[in-house]
Amino acid sequence: MNSHKLSVLAETLQASEIVRLGAIIKDKIKQGEKIYNYTIGDFDSSIFPVPAELEQEIIEAYKNGYTTYPAAQGNLDLREAVSSFMLSRCGLDYTANEILIAAGGRPLIYAVYRAIVDKGDKVIYPTPSWNNNHYVHFTEGKHIILEAKKENNFMLTAAQISPHIKGATLVSLCSPLNPTGTTFGKDELNDICNLIVEENNSRAAGEKKLYLMYDQIYWTLTFGDTIHYNPVSLNPFMKPFTIFIDGISKAFAATGVRVGWALGPEELVVKMLSINSHVGAWAPMAEQKAVANYLVNPDAIDTYLAHFKSEVSLRLQNIYSGFQQMKKMGYLVDAIAPEAAIYLTIQIDYINKKDINGKLLTTQADVTAYILDEAKLAIVPFYCFGSSPESNWYRLSVGTCKKEEINEMLEALKIALDKLN
């Protein structure tokens, strides 16, 4: 049978490695295996429910008949609520006309890429990072992939970006970072902002500008002494060149509620609005009404975040401490102290070790499969986020983690690693 070719995009688009790994895990669970599934950047709603006030607002919105199309840019009451929320919480001053609402962060990221990047345009982004490789592929941009280093907590530096900035169209950054749970320090982010401002000042009138997409969807989830910094508050000259990606999905464990927002220059927001309208990726009317009401309830938000953050932080810190203890015991593991988000960066360095059957783990993929099969621990290798296939670092997500299973999981991992030599 002759197969018919589809579009070049369809024929060359790579499937998500995380989705493929998820299918393997689901199959194991279906067969009755108990898996410590720390792969997904999502939440178990029985552990981390959405705020009760937000849930009630959604119910009331549906009861009140808010089931029609929303405004294409997002309902005005929601955009005004977002404007007030971001000003009070982040010091970011954006009017309703500089805000675009969509069904979560993904359509907004897609719209940013579509509005800014032409075929062959240079897009600078780090590895590890989430999905930038796919969005550059969508737009046929030129990948400028910079490998972030462990000594910088896997965050890019201005020194890494600087040699590539001439002629670039977009720098895509995320802080707190998915997959690492680490953040930009004030000085490093400020240096990056200075680079971008200086580059834009050097470009001729009418020449395409260099934009920064700053994904801060996890900014509310910082722990300990960690402070979230943003480009525009650090350097007001960044405002014409910065587009923020944000929303409720991670801040309020509301990934399925699908309300996100972008903040940026009005002329860019208008173009993103047109793109988003053709795709039809609007946040539902009822959810928009509910979020508009919830965001102006600061006491409810503060109460929710205090409990939510403490529960996430407890899980991250306990697993981090467990890995540090294993390291002291001689296991070839490590972890970076958690700073933010729902992720812990861990290292499992057992390549070229043999299992009890004499099978050599020749690749990091072999190690990943072994950990899943023997320890029943499912984690996402950094090579799923664009890092080298040889990278022995992993993302561990605690969004579905039961506190009482942490020691059990760590013990299972020790037993599995003890079988390697």
Write the pLDDT tens digit of every residue in 17-42.
777 787 888 888 888 999 999 998 99
In a domain, 15, yes or no: yes
Selected residue with higher pLDDT from 14 and 229:
229
Distance between first and last Cα of the chain: 49
335 forms bridges with which residues in the sheet?
346
Region 55-74 average pLDDT: 98
Q: Which SS3 state, helix, strand or coil, does residue 241 take?
A: helix
Residue 2 maps to a domain: no
Domain count, the chain: 2
Residue 318 pLDDT class (50, 70, 90 cuts): very high
Is 309 found in the same domain as 237?
A: no
pLDDT in tens, 250-300: 999 999 999 999 999 999 999 999 999 999 999 999 999 999 999 999 999
Give the domain-ending residue among 273, 296, 319. Answer: 296
- Compute the distance between CA of residue 189 and CA of residue 35 in angstroms, rounded to an integer: 38
Alpha-carbon distances, residue 210 vs 28, 116, 176 (angstroms): 46, 9, 22
169 lies in some domain: yes
Question: 364 and 409, same structural domain?
Answer: yes
Tell whether 98 and 192 lie within a shared domain. Answer: yes
Short-list 238, 189, 247, 183, CA closest to 212 = 238
**Amino acid code (one letter) for 89:** R
Domain boundary, last residue among 274, 296, 318: 296
Cα–Cα distance, 331 to 324 (Å, whole number): 9
CATH number at residue 315: 3.90.1150.10
| Distances 19 to 175, 373, 409 between C-alpha atoms, Å | 23, 18, 23
Same domain as 113, residue 247: yes
- The torsion angle over the Cα atoms of residues 309, 307, 396 and 251, rounded to 10 degrees, is -60
Verify that 37 and 70 share a domain, yes or no. Answer: no
Nearest to 54, CA basis, from 223, 204, 207, 255:
255
- Provide the domain limits for residue 341: 8-48+302-418
131 burial via Cβ count (<10 Å: 0-12, 13-18, 19+): buried
Examine the pLDDT at 1 and tell me if it is beyond 60: no
Q: Would you say 136 and 123 are in contact if contact means Cβ atoms under 8 Å apart? A: yes
According to DSSP, the β-strands at 377-378 and 122-127 are: unpaired
- Side chain identity, residue 41: G
60 plus 30 within the same structural domain: no
Using CA atoms, how far residue 122 sits from 170, 241, 302, in Å, is: 7, 16, 41
Which pLDDT score is estimated for 3? Answer: 62
How far is Cα 378 from Cα 173, in angstroms, rounded to an integer? 27
DSSP state of 374: I
Q: Is residue 1 part of a domain?
A: no
3 assigned to some structural domain: no
Q: Which of 263, 296, 329 is the last residue of a domain?
A: 296
User: Does residue 361 lie in a domain region?
Assistant: yes
Tokens of 349: 């360095």
**222 and 317 housed in the same domain:** no
Round the average pLDDT of the chain to a whole number and report it. 95
- Residue 112 to residues 80, 106, 282: CA-CA distances in angstroms? 21, 10, 15
Q: Are residues 137 and 276 in the same domain?
A: yes
290, 231: one domain: yes
43 and 59 in one domain? no
**Helices 105-116 + 132-139 axis angle, to 10:** 40
* Predicted local confidence at residue 17, as pLDDT: 74
**Residue 238's CATH number:** 3.40.640.10
Identify the sign of the CA torsion 362, 363, 369, 374.
positive
Please report how many Cα atoms fall inside a 13 Å half-sphere around the Cα of residue 243, on the Cβ side. 28
Looking at the fold, whether 271 and 347 belong to one and the same domain comes out as no
280 shares its domain with 131: yes
| 146 in a structural domain | yes
- Alpha-carbon distance 253 to 259, whole Å? 12
- Whether 32 maps to a domain, the answer reads yes
